Amino acid sequence: MAITNNRLTVDQYAENFSDIHPPFETKDAALTEANRCLFCYDAPCMKSCPTGIDVPKFIKQITTDNLKGSAHTIFVSNILGAGCSRVCPVEKLCEGACVYNLMEEPPIEIARLQRYATEKAMAANWQLFERKPSNGKKVAIVGAGPAGLSCAHVLARAGVEVTIFEKESKGGGLMTYGIAAYKVTPAFCENEVNYILSIGGINVQYNQTLGKDFSLESLQQSYDAVYLGIGVGLARQLNIPGEQLTGVEDAITFIYNIRNNGFASVPVGDRVAVIGMGMTAIDAATQAKRLGAKKVTMVYRRTENEKPCTQEELDIALLDGCEVIWLAAPKEIIGEQNRVSKLVCSKMILGEPDASGRRAPVDTGETFTLEVDMVIKAAGQTPYYSLVNDAQLQHQDGKIKVDHGAITNIRGVFAGGDCVNGGKEVVDAVQAGKDGAAAILDYLNVS
């Protein structure tokens, strides 16, 4: 059958891509969980949230029937609090720090409670923030992803007129285009963006690409400040023979197509190899399986101990039936009639720790071969090097350098999110957006 789309029925797609972390069905269920919360002081969960959401407070507010207050507590720290409640790797953030873990008890289901409060707010379209009167300042933001939206919302609250330039036709960035569909649906992402924009004062120009449709200079001329939240976009190449064969795809494109074009339209192989073990690799592997691939094999050059994804993420892949080969690095992709037919891998062993502090994989010289008809590359993303370099922005390997969390070397130009940190969680980008907004307001002398 090889690579083909439309493998499943509508019902099968719906089932395979249904919500992986279902919400609380009832108020009682949410209250039962909320009432378990100890209401810690200087809470470890709060300190482990990159946006510093006052978790004990918002949970307490659920128990007192103050859902509006609860949603406000979340959104005031994290305007993408609804999306983050679905996509955050909470096991290594808030829930991982919950003191119940120290009692060998399950941690409070913080994400689920956060989803409960924020979902209610979005469904009822509660307007929890009021804009200050316009102060006449104008700021341009490049990228309507988490960093850009977060920055825009803070600025809009402060009375700044914001224009966002977004290269895609929808907002949300990787939230909309780069995350497994069983975590957030396109419809949810659209609702979330609309809810954020409903504060007013934020004008989004879609299908506008930096360096193509407009330049940084033009923004500098027309606006009082510019914020770059352009993310990282380019899939890292494997630089091995056969990478150009039909059937080799990068995970970002693969997931983008799932998110953007609909499940049935996305082709997937019978036997798929996924290169990498980050969150994106997991999202690609699980979704390949859920699109109907018969066999999905994840290939990772180190061992389970060094994996970048969380155990919870790996478990999703394993429960989906994905296989994992540890200590295997892609060496060559072999094709027949220009189509992928085999993946040759080097067997690795662990050597000395590398710059990341993890033990580096070392080639043993031995190889093995997987029979595959599709290879999905999820070996990380690289920054927009030339875009950044051409704009005279100081950078390190394409990652924009900033001071005080947001200030670039160009006066009036600020940056944050993946384009600065090289690619972290949505919640990190939200915080970067807040930091950027704070720096911009300071720069513009707006209180």
Question: Which parts of this chain interact with another protein (CB under 8 A)?
Answer: 31-32, 35-36, 38-45, 47-48, 63, 97, 99-100, 102-103
Helix (H) or strand (E) holding 280: helix 279-290
Taking a C-beta distance cutoff of 8 angstroms, is the pair 222, 140 a contact?
yes
- How far apart, in whole angstroms, are the C-alpha atoms of residue 239 and residue 159? 49
Residue among 35 and 205 whose Cβ is closer to another protein: 35
- How far apart, in whole angstroms, are the C-alpha atoms of residue 165 and residue 189? 18
Residue among 32 and 261 whose Cβ is closer to another protein: 32
Residue among 97 and 111 whose Cβ is closer to another protein: 97
What is the closest distance, in whole angstroms, from the C-beta atom of residue 109 to another protein in the complex? 14
Which tokens belong to 94? 């808030």
What is the closest distance, in whole angstroms, from the C-beta atom of residue 45 to another protein in the complex? 8
What is the closest distance, in whole angstroms, from the C-beta atom of residue 47 to another protein in the complex? 4
Is residue 60 classed as helix, strand or coil in its secondary structure?
A: helix
- How far apart, in whole angstroms, are the C-alpha atoms of residue 152 and residue 137? 13
What is the closest distance, in whole angstroms, from the C-beta atom of residue 122 to another protein in the complex? 24
Q: How many CB atoms lie within 10 A of CB 365?
A: 7
Residue among 100 and 129 whose Cβ is closer to another protein: 100
Taking a C-beta distance cutoff of 8 angstroms, is the pair 85, 117 a contact?
no
Residue among 310 and 367 whose Cβ is closer to another protein: 310
What is the closest distance, in whole angstroms, from the C-beta atom of residue 67 to another protein in the complex? 14
Going from the C-alpha of 34 to that of each of 97, 107, 109, 112, 354, the distances in angstroms are: 16, 11, 8, 10, 43
What is the closest distance, in whole angstroms, from the C-beta atom of residue 103 to another protein in the complex? 6
Residue among 14 and 38 whose Cβ is closer to another protein: 38
Residue among 31 and 76 whose Cβ is closer to another protein: 31
Pairing between strand 225-228 and 395-396?
A: unpaired
Which tokens belong to 402? 């900033």
Which tokens belong to 202? 């934020």
What is the closest distance, in whole angstroms, from the C-beta atom of residue 35 to another protein in the complex? 4
